[in-house]
Structure 1
């Protein structure tokens, strides 16, 4: 599959006249709980040629799109963000982008931009913003998927992962790892809740159909209590974000010089 992904990325470079800086897995495979029918969620960051930026309209305005999205098929979902869009979101500690930088499945990386972003992410990380993101995700998924007497059991992971990620931020004051087993093993003590979750995880990874089953009361109660508790904790945090714009402007300019002073395509 990696060869197919790389061929798709190369075609994007050729069709859109861009250079791809970074491409990773971002979905359940990166979270280490894929199902047997899980697709590949590939996300990438790309940069246009210098002259594309020397206009009065910035990327994202009018016809100057700042995303590239390929048609989704049953196995492959590929989309990417243009670099200035990515850096504006990075400035706000955007959690999906921060996750891309930490993905354990890297399909492609070129030039020094991503290494510099990874280094900057240690200081750009904003706990308050990331906690709100994960709590909103957990609350919305909890309300949508886990309220009936019978629920789609596999949907528990779409609430558990953001809750455990939020608890990691609370515990360590750093951005959480993507891998669900790592979150689970570190954050939850041994006991009934952890045992129930581990059983679900084994079933999901083995490819069992986790469709509608009676909801697991002990997990529902845990999630409900944790979402409320973490919400209260988040509201106590002070919000003070330095302005990283000059650093990111310099990173953008240096990337243009580094990329377009060479004549290399994705290999």
Structure 2
């Protein structure tokens, strides 16, 4: 599958005339609770050539295969491939967008060229704001918990997402940086306890591919319920990073254009515009 993914990424570059700077796994495989039948959620950051950015109109800044876009080669049905143009990615990076930050820290990387992702990670210490990241995961956990509370019979898989969101939010608040993406790594931060044991058991069942629908897990349910109350209170005291890092991010974007593409090849300075 990895070879097929590489072929799909190369085809995207060719057919959309872009350079993919970073491509990674972002779904259950990155989170560490996939089975053999799980989808591959491929996410990437890409750069157009200089001529594209010199247009007076703002172009589309996402590529989504197969939801919106297509390529001329077969794409395995298990693949969900989506990318953000670099300027869009940098604007979201400036806002500490959790999805983008977790792309940059995924342990499953399919492509990482030109050092742009590395430079973004180097800027995290200055750019990262705990508050939006914290509330993103708090709200995810609250939404899943509300759904789980509606019935005594529940699919246990959402508990993995809830536990991960709780641990990720608490990690970010405590360490002021991006937590591990993989749930296994986050669970290691928990002391041995019934909560950790239950989460590990559900994780093992999920990865085996077996069904994990059963009576609601009371240990995890009460743990998450308690944590959500504490997190709601704690979140009120978080402050945002209000520093403006636009200049640094502009410089990174300009550096990418300079090094990834050769402007002399892409733009003919003597070409007369077609005004017909």
Same fold (TM over 0.5): yes
Distance in 2 of aligned mates of 1:146 and 1:160: 15
Question: Which stretch of structure 1 is more off in the superposition, 232-241 or 23-32?
Answer: 232-241
Structure 1 position 262, deviation (Å): 8.6
Kindly indicate whether the alpha-carbon contact (under 8 Å) linking 1:146 and 1:156 is maintained by their aligned counterparts in 2. Answer: no
Distance in 2 of aligned mates of 1:237 and 1:174: 14
Partner of 2:236: 235
Structure 1 position 240, deviation (Å): 3.4
Alignment RMSD? 1.7
Kindly indicate whether the alpha-carbon contact (under 8 Å) linking 2:50 and 2:263 is maintained by their aligned counterparts in 1. Answer: no
Structure 1 position 113, deviation (Å): 1.1
Are 1:194 and 2:196 matched, yes or no?
A: yes
Are 1:179 and 2:182 matched, yes or no?
A: yes
Partner of 2:272: none
Distance in 1 of aligned mates of 2:168 and 2:215: 26
Q: How does 1:202-221 map to 2 (within 5 A)?
A: 202-211=204-213, 213-221=214-222
Q: How does 1:47-196 map to 2 (within 5 A)?
A: 47-58=47-58, 64-71=59-66, 74-186=77-189, 188-196=190-198
Structure 1 position 35, deviation (Å): 2.2
Distance in 1 of aligned mates of 2:105 and 2:139: 21
Kindly indicate whether the alpha-carbon contact (under 8 Å) linking 2:145 and 2:162 is maintained by their aligned counterparts in 1. Answer: yes
* Structure 2 stretches lacking a partner, 5+ long: 68-75, 265-276
Kindly indicate whether the alpha-carbon contact (under 8 Å) linking 1:146 and 1:155 is maintained by their aligned counterparts in 2. Answer: no
Distance in 2 of aligned mates of 1:225 and 1:44: 36
Kindly indicate whether the alpha-carbon contact (under 8 Å) linking 1:163 and 1:223 is maintained by their aligned counterparts in 2. Answer: yes
Distance in 2 of aligned mates of 1:170 and 1:18: 37
Distance in 2 of aligned mates of 1:218 and 1:261: 58
Distance in 2 of aligned mates of 1:160 and 1:248: 33
Between the two proteins, the alignment pairs up a number of residues equal to 257
TM-score (norm 2): 0.89
Distance in 2 of aligned mates of 1:262 and 1:226: 53
Structure 1 position 103, deviation (Å): 0.6
Distance in 1 of aligned mates of 2:120 and 2:5: 23
Kindly indicate whether the alpha-carbon contact (under 8 Å) linking 2:128 and 2:241 is maintained by their aligned counterparts in 1. Answer: no
TM-score (norm 1): 0.92
Partner of 2:73: none
Distance in 1 of aligned mates of 2:118 and 2:263: 18
Q: Secondary structure at the match of 1:21?
A: strand
Partner of 1:61: none
Structure 1 position 129, deviation (Å): 1.1
Partner of 1:16: 16
